[in-house]
């Protein structure tokens, strides 16, 4: 636990120093939502029906920028090898990074919601439930994204390689997230929201447990 808290403290300092990057990622996500609205055109009903999918698509595209730079500071200072030599467990280092990425993505997704409401005339009757769905979906993105970022952090084209590896793995998470978000915004007469959120939580538990176990082998190799 002490190792994890130390890793979280380090990540919090790195996030604060690179806060301008988070703003740039938000602008990218907002631009994506704006372009999607232009692609659909002035069809209010169609925009509302697809608002959930556009939100998660914009968040997914923006998340690759954040995840690809997960180990940028360690690469610049050649600090990753030094961290592994410390008497700290690799899972603690991984979960520190993953929790940091989860926080950034959840903040990004929450920030895109007001823009989605304005652009797509979407209805958000239960904002707290929507925040919970965003948090669960971002957890499903950040866990494997942090692992694959460790696998590709030394590759010259990591911004291209990371999405190619990550997107096929997170398709079930995206489907569950989009479906749960859509049910929140368009209505849930059949009571399907809880099963979709439970399925999303199961995917999160699977990703966070397996990726934490595999991280040590990835960085050692």
Give the pLDDT confidence score for residue 135 in this predicted structure: 95
**Closest Cα partner for 196 from 173, 180, 211?**
180
Give the pLDDT confidence score for residue 108 in this predicted structure: 92
Q: Which residue has the higher pLDDT, 73 or 118?
A: 118
Mean pLDDT of the chain: 82
pLDDT at 128 over 90: yes
pLDDT at 82 over 60: no
Give the pLDDT confidence score for residue 24 in this predicted structure: 83
Contacts of 10 (CB under 8 A, 6+ apart): 96
Q: Which residue has the higher pLDDT, 95 or 18?
A: 95
Contacts of 211 (CB under 8 A, 6+ apart): 94, 98, 143, 144, 146, 147
pLDDT at 139 over 90: yes
pTM for the whole structure: 0.86
The pLDDT tens digits of the residues spanning 141-154 come to: 999 988 888 887 76
The pLDDT tens digits of the residues spanning 151-188 come to: 877 666 667 788 888 888 899 999 999 999 999 988 87
User: Phi and psi at residue 218, in whole multiples of 5°?
Assistant: -65, -50
**Closest Cα partner for 74 from 36, 18, 136?**
18
Give the pLDDT confidence score for residue 221 in this predicted structure: 57
Q: Which residue has the higher pLDDT, 140 or 24?
A: 140
* In the chain, where the domains are located: 2-220
Q: Which residue has the higher pLDDT, 78 or 213?
A: 213
Query: pLDDT tier at 7 (50, 70, 90 boundaries)?
Result: low
């Amino acid at each position: 636990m002490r190792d994890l808290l130390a890793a979280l403290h380090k990540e919090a300092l790195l996030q604060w120093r690179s806060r301008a990057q988070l703003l740039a990622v938000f602008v990218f996500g907002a631009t994506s939502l704006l372009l999607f609205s232009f692609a659909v055109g002035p069809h209010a009903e169609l925009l509302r029906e697809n608002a959930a999918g556009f939100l998660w698509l914009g968040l997914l595209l923006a998340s690759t920028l954040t995840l690809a730079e997960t180990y940028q500071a360690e690469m610049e200072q050649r600090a990753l090898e030094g961290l592994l030599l410390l008497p700290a467990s690799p899972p603690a280092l991984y979960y520190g990074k993953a929790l940091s990425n989860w926080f950034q993505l959840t903040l990004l997704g929450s920030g895109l919601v007001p823009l989605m409401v304005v652009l797509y005339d979407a209805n958000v009757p239960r904002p707290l439930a929507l925040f919970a769905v965003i948090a669960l979906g971002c957890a499903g993105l950040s866990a494997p994204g942090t692992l694959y970022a460790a696998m590709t952090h030394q590759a010259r084209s990591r911004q291209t390689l990371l999405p190619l590896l990550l997107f096929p793995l997170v398709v079930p998470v995206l489907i569950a997230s989009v479906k749960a978000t859509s049910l929140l915004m368009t209505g849930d007469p059949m009571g399907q929201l809880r099963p979709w959120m439970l399925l999303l939580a199961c995917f999160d538990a699977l990703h966070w447990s397996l990726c934490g176990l595999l991280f040590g082998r990835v960085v050692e190799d």
